[in-house]
Amino acid sequence: MKKDELKIAGRKPGSGRKPGSGTFREETSVMRVPNSQKPVIADFLEAYARKQRLHELKDDLDAVDAFAQPILAAESISLPLYESKVPAGLPSPADSDIEEQLDLYQYLIANTDDTFFITIQGESMIEVGLMPGDKAIVQKRKQPALGDIVLAMIDGEFTVKTLARQSNGLPKLLPANSSGRYSPILIQSRMEFQIWGVVTGSFRKF
């Protein structure tokens, strides 16, 4: 075979998978292992790949903190709801302006058994009003829809983002911060992904 024919038959320069683009984000090599140890090694490599993915997503996850269950109050808590808008600094409205009594518990929580609170960390969702330290209300059994703010778990880490869909049909999670500091999280088939609930509201204490 001539030299030119060898070049054609051989591997072309630059062909094949680019280094660092595979599951483990680095160059790999072939090795022989005992068949009895293949499941053990496969589990280890999957855990290693998950660690690599989490490292890449670290800046975009903006993990949540402090899961808590609501405590049902013994008595309903109702406060006046005024029908007129009151600018800050002006005198309090008169009793005649009271439209109704607002039960804060019923307003915030639809079902005690179906609801829990989380504490927001980071600033990836500030443009939908979720600030660091805010308590977000999560409804576990509410069916998530595209455009909902959801509490999602990715490879064992929790994050709050807006649910959307990629062109291939898989989910993606969108931040609400136009600073460019946070990127959409594209869910891939090899990721462990689960939606734990839909965020239905939030509150904060000044």
The catalytic site residues sit at 124, 161
Torsion-angle region of 66 (φ positive above 0: left; ψ -120 to 50: alpha; else: beta): left
What are 151's strand-pairing partners? 160, 197
N- to C-terminal Cα distance for the chain? 81
Give the span between the Cα atoms of 119 and 138, in whole angstroms: 11
Q: Which residues contact 138 (CB under 8 A, 6 or more apart)?
A: 115, 116, 117, 118, 151, 196, 197, 198, 199, 200
Give the span between the Cα atoms of 22 and 11, in whole angstroms: 19
